[in-house]
């Protein structure tokens, strides 16, 4: 009991010192975020288009094949993955042959053989 009263007094004093924070309803300050449209980290390439980006690819062969087929291509054989992580295969679309590749972001790009 002798320790309880000083402990309660110390707790009350600390709570009083903290003050009433219920009036702080304003916007929370945070870090400054760049408004630039250009990515600051070249590893985070947000540019669209048909440009393939090499990188560690976590797609399975079946997932890469599905990405190619969703673009309207018919894959003519097995897919192979190169040292840059790009999945590639021979495929046709609308009767035209092409070598189709998929990067780690799922971007599908086609190149006409011999060009």
pLDDT in tens, 43-76: 555 555 567 878 787 888 999 999 999 999 999 8
Q: Among residues 77, 115, 71, 114, which one has the least CA distance to residue 94?
A: 71
Q: Among residues 87, 80, 7, which one has the least CA distance to residue 53?
A: 87
pLDDT at 92: 94
* Angle, CA 29 vertex, CA 19 and CA 26 arms, to 5°: 55
CA-to-CA distance for 102 and 97, rounded, in angstroms?
16
pLDDT in tens, 79-111: 999 988 899 999 999 999 999 999 988 899 988
Measure Cα distances from 34 to 5, 26, 38, 40 in Å: 53, 22, 9, 9
pLDDT greater than 60 at residue 31: no
């Amino acid at each position: 009991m002798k320790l309880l009263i000083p402990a309660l007094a110390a707790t009350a004093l600390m709570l009083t010192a903290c003050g009433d924070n219920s009036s702080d309803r304003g916007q929370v300050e945070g870090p400054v975020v760049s408004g630039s449209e250009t990515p600051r980290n070249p590893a985070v390439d947000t540019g669209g288009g048909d440009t393939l980006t090499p990188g560690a690819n976590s797609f399975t062969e079946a997932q890469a094949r599905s990405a190619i087929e969703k673009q309207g291509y018919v894959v003519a054989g097995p897919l192979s993955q190169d040292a840059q992580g790009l999945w590639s295969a021979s495929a046709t679309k609308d009767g035209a042959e092409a070598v189709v590749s998929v990067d780690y972001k799922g971007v599908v790009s086609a190149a006409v053989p011999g060009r």
